[in-house]
């Protein structure tokens, strides 16, 4: 979930499509789409339709997602909290210096 929301935070105005998100995050569709549905239900993401001429493109317009303004600060806080949670502990081990003593 964090990797998905991180993509949206990288460019707030950029609409993101399902297949594009799959390629960026490396998540399969079976994992990504439940996450998108969950975020949309929570009001973090909002959906829209691609503005294309379907006949000229030869395909129907895709659905895109954008992060909502209200979700941006909450998402940043959550990502920061997750980063803090999974940050490895810093351990400083004393090492012997070539001239003796400890560095």
Partner 1 sequence: MTAWAWAALCLVGTVLLGTLGDLVHDEIRGWLDLVPHAVLRLAASRLNVSQRGTIYEDEWLPELCYVLRGSESRPITRLIRGITFAAGLLIAARRIAREISRDTPSLPSHDLPVLPVLPALLQSVSAPIARDRIPARITSFDAFYDFYYPKLTLFLKSNDSGSSLAEDIAQDAMIAACERWDELLNYERPDAWLFKVAIRKLRRAQAGAKERSKQELLANADQQSSVTVHESADTRLYLAAALKALPTRQAKVISLRFLSCYTVAETAQILGLTEAAVSAIQRRGLEVLRQQLGPLHNE
- Among 60, 68, 78, 64, which residue's Cα sits nearest to residue 19? 64
Distance CA 72, CA 41 (A): 15
Of residues 36-95, those binding partner 1 (CB under 8 A): 37-39, 41-44, 49-50, 58-63, 70, 73-74, 77-78, 81-82, 85
What number of chain residues touch partner 1 (CB under 8 A)? 34
Q: Which residues pair with 46 in a beta bridge?
A: 66
- Among 45, 57, 56, which residue's Cα sits nearest to residue 14? 45
Site for partner 1 contains 24 (CB under 8 A): no
- Binding residues for partner 1, rule: CB under 8 A, are 17-19, 22, 28-34, 37-39, 41-44, 49-50, 58-63, 70, 73-74, 77-78, 81-82, 85
């Amino acid at each position: 979930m964090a990797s998905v929301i991180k993509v949206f935070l990288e460019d707030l105005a950029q609409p993101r499509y399902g297949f594009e998100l799959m390629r960026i995050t490396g998540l399969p569709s079976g994992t990504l789409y439940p996450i998108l549905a969950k975020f949309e239900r929570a009001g973090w993401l909002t959906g829209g339709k691609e503005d294309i001429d379907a006949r000229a493109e030869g395909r129907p317009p895709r659905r895109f997602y954008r992060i909502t303004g209200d979700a941006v600060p909450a998402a940043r806080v959550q990502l920061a909290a997750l980063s803090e949670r999974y940050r490895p502990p810093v351990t400083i081990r004393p090492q012997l210096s070539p001239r003796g003593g400890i560095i």
